[in-house]
Amino acid sequence: MTDTMQSHYGREGIVERLLEDLAEAGVDTDRLGVDDLGTFDEFHVGRREASERLLPLLGVEADHMILDVGSGIGGPARFLADRTGAHVTGIDLTPEFVDAATELTRRVGLSDRVSFRLASGTDIPFEDDRFDAATLMHVGMNIEDKPTLLAEMARVTRPDGTVLVYDLMRVGEGDLVHPMPWASNPAFSFVDRPAVYEAAAQAAGLAVIERLDFGDLARAFFDTPKDTPPSGPAGGGDPRRADRFRNARSAVHAGIITPIALVLKKS
Ligand SMILES: C[S@@+](CC[C@H](N)C(=O)[O-])C[C@H]1O[C@@H](n2cnc3c(N)ncnc32)[C@H](O)[C@@H]1O
């Protein structure tokens, strides 16, 4: 299962293709900044706009340590560190993404505060209470075992710290048609209802503070995909990319799925 998920996301030459896209968009790739990458390195609905909305929900301060679970190529981690001054650690199961995240972070000069490591959200390699906050952005759709995922995120977050989830969740009836952006087939697609996340959170000692539906952002994102990078967020080479996008868009418009933000607090 893991291999399938990793081969779904992982590709060679991610950074090289991304730099080509950026150069084509007129960016000076020898002097890269976090904001040059914003359209290209965030693999969630609403991209940078969603991250801007999520940031105040986290309550992060400059001396905080944040864990980003399923960090992809590091866009959200760099954004959080850049805007808040905090230290951010990303973990991800796809080796090519961990390497790309590390290299892009070096290129924007944030390596002293942002780092990445190959690891699973269901087996987090850090001690209890280590982080002030933990984030999960569009990763739960790949993880069947929500109770273990939330328990692990709660374990490594300090008491009174925040766990922020931003996932596509099921809110209506109807079949999901694959391929989807997060899964080529249903075998590794685990889209769940908000109640499943909330039950897992509560069992892990996390109180549900807020549940926000980002459906407006999703509809705007899917209907005006003008900022989509030419070779796709994973650095191109995906012949089914248009199908994935179309299927996700249909499911959002049909009211089957929507991006939900859950603000959870460790008691
Ligand atoms: C849609 S991408 C989102 C990446 C990033 N959070 C963002 O918003 O840009 C999903 C990511 O979750 C990672 N992932 C899936 N299952 C995981 C697991 N069990 N533990 C850690 N990462 C996982 C994938 O490798 C991929 O990088």
Mutate which of 48, 92, 217 for ligand 1 pocket (most atoms within 8 A of beta carbon): 92
Query: Measured in angstroms, how far is the CA atom of residue 116 from the centroid of ligand 1?
Result: 12
Number of residues written out for the chain: 267
Closest-CA residue, ligand 1 atom 26, reads 72
Query: Where residue 3 falls among pLDDT bands split at 50, 70, 90?
Result: low
pLDDT of residue 2: 45
Nearest to 240 by CA among 183, 162, 194, 168: 183
Inform me whether the pLDDT recorded for 44 exceeds 90.
yes
pLDDT tens digits along 90-122: 999 999 999 999 999 999 999 999 999 999 999
pLDDT of residue 4: 64
Cβ of 137 less than 6 Å from ligand 1: yes
pLDDT of residue 237: 62
Cβ of 21 less than 6 Å from ligand 1: no
Q: Is the dihedral of CA 5, 199, 131, 127 positive or negative?
A: negative
Q: Which 3 state secondary structure label does DSSP give 254? A: coil
Query: Where residue 239 falls among pLDDT bands split at 50, 70, 90?
Result: confident
Q: Which 3 state secondary structure label does DSSP give 209? A: strand
Q: How far apart are CA 151 and CA 174, in angstroms?
A: 30
Which residue ranges form the domains of the chain, and what is each CATH number? 2-266 (3.40.50.150)
Q: Is the dihedral of CA 25, 30, 36, 40 positive or negative?
A: positive
pLDDT tens digits along 132-154: 999 999 999 999 999 999 999 99
Cβ of 142 less than 6 Å from ligand 1: yes
Asked if 76 and 53 touch (Cβ cutoff 8 Å), the reply is no
Q: How far apart are CA 38 and CA 47, in angstroms?
A: 8
Q: What percent of the chain has pLDDT over 70?
A: 93
Inform me whether the pLDDT recorded for 234 exceeds 60.
no
Q: How far apart are CA 133 and CA 130, in angstroms?
A: 9
Peptide bond preceding 179 in cis form (omega within 30 of 0): yes
Cβ of 182 less than 6 Å from ligand 1: yes
pLDDT tens digits along 57-87: 999 999 999 999 999 999 999 999 999 999 9
Mutate which of 93, 122, 168 for ligand 1 pocket (most atoms within 8 A of beta carbon): 93
Mutate which of 142, 146, 191 for ligand 1 pocket (most atoms within 8 A of beta carbon): 142
Cβ of 93 less than 6 Å from ligand 1: yes
Query: Measured in angstroms, how far is the CA atom of residue 226 from the centroid of ligand 1?
Result: 24
Taking residue 56's Cβ as centre, other Cβ atoms within 10 Å add up to: 8
Closest-CA residue, ligand 1 atom 20, reads 120
The token duo for 241 is: 């990319």
Strand intervals (E) in 93-177:
114-118, 131-137, 157-170
Query: Where residue 235 falls among pLDDT bands split at 50, 70, 90?
Result: very low
Q: How far apart are CA 86 and CA 132, in angstroms?
A: 10
Cβ of 43 less than 6 Å from ligand 1: yes
DSSP at 44: S
Mean pLDDT, rounded, of the chain: 92
Instruction: Compute, in degrees rounded to 10, the torsion defined by CA atoms 105, 111, 114, 117.
Output: 80
How much of the chain is in helix, strand and coil states, percent to nearest 5? Answer: 40, 20, 35
Cβ of 75 less than 6 Å from ligand 1: yes
Q: What is the average pLDDT across 209-224?
A: 95
